[in-house]
Chains A and B, each alone.
Chain A
Amino acid sequence: MITLVPSWANRYADFWDSIHKRNMWLIKLRYGAVVMLCGFLVSSGYILRLTFSRTQIFALVFINIIILLYNLGFHWSWKFVKTETGKFNPMHFSLLQMIFDLAALFFIVYFTGSIETPLFMLFVFHMIIGSLILPGFVIFSLAGLVILIFNFLVLSEYANIIPHQTVTGLISIPLYMNIDFIIAYDVVFIFVIMISVFLANHIASQLYRIEQQLLESFEKLKAAETEKQKYVIGIVHEIKTPLTAVHSYLDVVLGKILGPVDKKIEERLSRAKVRSSEAIAMIDDVLRVSKLRLLDEISYDEINLSELIVPLIKKQSVNLRTKQIMLNLFDGRTVKKNIKGDKFLLEIAFSNLIGNAVKYVGAKGQIEVDIMDNDAEVSIEITDNGVGIPSGEFEKIFADFFRASNIKDKSYEGTGLGLSIVKQIIERHGGSISVASPSKLGCEDRPGASFFIKIPYL
């Protein structure tokens, strides 16, 4: 069996997929052709005042039934055509359809007058469709075959070897005996077919090649991005190492392990420790984002969401007490299934969200964490009545290094990486995150914000 695979089809999966889809497209188109042929037969007598002989009507109806039948056959067998090398594949399927169609068209052309029928132009149309699917050498061979058979038919009628089928009302003088007419029409026909096939095939393969190049460039970009992330991780890690040492010494001095420390010095060193902690936190954020982007696969643990979230809330208890924040957790789940996900990453995500709420809610604020679910997914809503988020920045807050305009100039510390990590983590779990502000807890001077997270049960 000839392979029929063009040399440029190196991206097999995509290639076969598109050929397979085009096959179905041909099948659907053919149903349309059957309907059109029926319409032509019924209406031609009224609109065009054409008269078909009994033989012609019988033949055309018969051909139409045959087309319908073989199309049903194609439709039924379409799903069984698999892309296995060396076996009958979608390309062979296309070729088979093409051959059936061309055969049917030859009969239609013959019974409507061969060189006298306008229907022979449909060959051009078939050749163009074929050019979009079949490789060059196949479609050129088919085109040559069509031209040969057509000429054989026309010349046989001219030589009276095959009886001519005249459509009464179409042409007043028989043209099939007029050699000048035959030559003129035939030459143009051959010319049009060959040029159409050449152009269509050329453009189709060029388009495909451009698509290939795009895909390849995309892959190169992805590889470059991976390299970049590795580089970032390397550099940032190098920065973290000395900072960690600085931090450790500050701890030693502040822990008075080396002896008593003067009060004034202690205060400044404490500030120094706060600032170095900020730098380390920022570095860790960058490392986490880079790592998340670098490692495509995440692990899948069985996770009970409340068991994940409750400890994260407890971690905030000191902050909650000192800032007199009221935090309510409401677990309204009914299905209560475990979700499958990466525990480490989900902890990062939810501790970011809860940490943000605590950070931006302000003293005496209110935070509500609601967990709800249905059969398909679990949804978590984290609401506060803090500074809120300006409308128009809802999408941007999930971008790297973006910080909402109403917190930039205030004393809130942060890297602007938190929510971008959160979003990536949630999306890696097939979930979604969105935000609303003001929230249901908000009031005029404390609009608040709500984060809605949905994670599917798998």
Chain B
Amino acid sequence: MTKIAIIDDDPDILDASGLVLMSKGYDVVTAANPEDGYKIVKEHSPDLIILDVMMNEPDDGFFLAQKFRREKITTPIIMYTSVSKSFGMDYGVNELVPVDEFVEKPISPEQLIKKVERLLKKKETK
């Protein structure tokens, strides 16, 4: 079963996103802060990570993504962003940003599923 990790400090977003993905038959694990997020990724080795850029601090999610990449965890990452407090980085998928896809919150269930499916397919073909 395909497993997706969602890391976001908003429990309602975790719940809602989880419901959407579970309805499509994905297995979902969640974490509400970067530390737990790191733990669940290590523990469950999910096929995809959905990560909020801003948790306790602006750019928390970004640093976590960097940490994953440094530890050679190549799991595709979708990053939730918002026109936000986070100023440190350019939004755009490039080598400085170890993320496969950016989506701006709120994202519709259809779009979320589409992005997830696309990234998973891309991962398979790799």
Which A residues contact B (CB, under 8 angstroms)?
A: 233-234, 237, 240-241, 244-245, 247-249, 251-252, 255, 257-258, 280, 284, 287-288, 291, 294-295, 299, 344
Contacts and interface: CB of A to CB of B under 8 A. Distances in A.
A407 to B, nearest CB: 25
A165 to B, nearest CB: 76
B95 interface: no
Nearest to B22: A257
B16 A248 contact: yes
B12 A240 contact: no
A237 B16 contact: no
A251 B90 contact: no
Contacts, number: 57
B105 interface: yes
Contact of A248 (B12, B83, B90): B12
A251 to B, nearest CB: 5
Given A252-B20, A287-B82, 18 more contacts: A237-B82, A244-B10, A244-B13, A245-B10, A248-B12, A248-B16, A248-B17, A251-B16, A251-B20, A251-B108, A255-B109, A257-B23, A257-B109, A258-B19, A284-B83, A288-B83, A291-B83, A344-B91
30 contacts: A233-B84, A233-B85, A237-B82, A237-B85, A240-B82, A241-B10, A244-B13, A244-B82, A244-B105, A245-B12, A245-B13, A247-B106, A248-B13, A248-B17, A249-B12, A249-B15, A251-B20, A252-B109, A255-B109, A255-B110, A257-B19, A257-B23, A280-B106, A284-B83, A287-B82, A287-B83, A288-B83, A291-B83, A291-B87, A294-B87
Which of A237, A258, A287, A291 has the most CB atoms of chain B within a 10 A radius of its CB? A237
Interface of B: 10, 12-13, 15-17, 19-20, 23, 82-85, 87, 90-92, 105-106, 108-110
The secondary-structure label for the interface of chain B is: loop
B16 A245 contact: yes
B87 A295 contact: yes
A258 B10 CA distance: 20
Nearest to B87: A295
Contacts of A244: 10, 13, 82, 105-106
B103 to A, nearest CB: 12
A251 B107 CA distance: 9
B17 to A, nearest CB: 7
A299 B92 CA distance: 12
Nearest to B23: A257
Contacts of A280: 106
Contacts of A294: 87
A297 B110 CA distance: 36
Contacts of A288: 83
Given A258-B19, A287-B83, A251 B109 contact: yes
